[in-house]
Amino acid sequence: MVIGRRLFVDIMSDTVWFLTSNPGKLAEASVHFAELGIEVKCLEVPDGAIVEPQASDLESVARAKIEQALNHLPHDNAMLLVEDAGLFVTALDGFPGVYSSYAYDTIGNQGVIRLLEHLQSEDPVRAKRLRAASFKAVSVLWKNGEVLIGRGECQGSIASQIQGAEGFGFDPIFIPYDLDEDGHPLDPENLGSLSTHGQTFGEVGVEVKHRFSHRKRALDDLLNEWQNQRSQDGP
């Protein structure tokens, strides 16, 4: 569903406060909301104010962060955005998943590659299947006590080595599957209309990544959710 820029400017104030200390995430969300004329600012919270919740799914983690961050909003009717994401590797039963942050800080990109080093094939399509993974994101927007949730996924595979230094986190080891003209991911044997041609997110940079991004999809889903709700509520 296409959502008009005007509608969003009407229903949202023009600033979203994003609970993140990650400049990469802020840059991606800013690109997204800029299309709607909305500025995304980083919500500053004191050190230790937000405790990383222990939960088995991304949505519970994001909701728990919303609860903790509400007290730090600059004014009562400010909008708060929280996003939680992770890398889910199929051959590792979804690990690191909700533990992605910890896994990145401890074993890092090299550690993930090491965990998958036995999964190789001469056949590039089979190699991609063996090393399949997806980024998943959940975006939660709080406004006047109302909570909206968006979910997004980006399918791909784990590279055999670290490639590129753009982006953040696991970007240098993640190669997205091609997308068709409607933005849907294709099986690894198919060439799509949008492709990184085997390059990782760490090689292609934020503008290209944005077109595949789980975060973009979660934000799109969230904004669609908002519009659906408004049409149910009536004029």
Catalytic center residues: 84
Closer CB to ligand IMP, 171 or 220, in the complex: 171
Question: Between 214-233 and 23-34, two packed helices, what is the crossing angle to 10 degrees?
Answer: 50
Q: Binding string to ligand IMP for residues 91 to 130, with x set by CB under 6 A, is what?
A: ---------xx--x--------------------------
User: Tokens 């934000």, residue?
Assistant: 219
Q: Whole-angstrom Cα distance, residue 4 to residue 22? A: 29
Give the type of residue at 232: Q
Closer CB to ligand IMP, 8 or 131, in the complex: 131
Q: Is 128 left (phi over 0), alpha (psi -120 to 50) or beta?
A: alpha
Closer CB to ligand IMP, 14 or 67, in the complex: 67
CA distances from 115 to 50, 82, 201 (A): 31, 30, 20
Closer CB to ligand IMP, 53 or 192, in the complex: 53
The answer to the question of residue 84 lying near ligand IMP (CB under 6 A) is yes
E-assigned strands of 90-145? 132-143
Stretch that binds ligand IMP, among 73-81, 107-115, 120-128, 167-175 (CB under 6 A): 167-175
Give the type of residue at 163: Q
Stretch that binds ligand IMP, among 40-48, 116-124, 163-171, 180-188 (CB under 6 A): 163-171
Q: DSSP assignment, residue 183?
A: S
The answer to the question of residue 221 lying near ligand IMP (CB under 6 A) is no
CB of residue 173 to ligand IMP, shortest distance in Å:
9
Q: Whole-angstrom Cα distance, residue 233 to residue 230? A: 5
The answer to the question of residue 199 lying near ligand IMP (CB under 6 A) is no
Residues that bind ligand IMP (CB under 6 A): 22, 84-87, 100-101, 104, 135, 167-171, 215
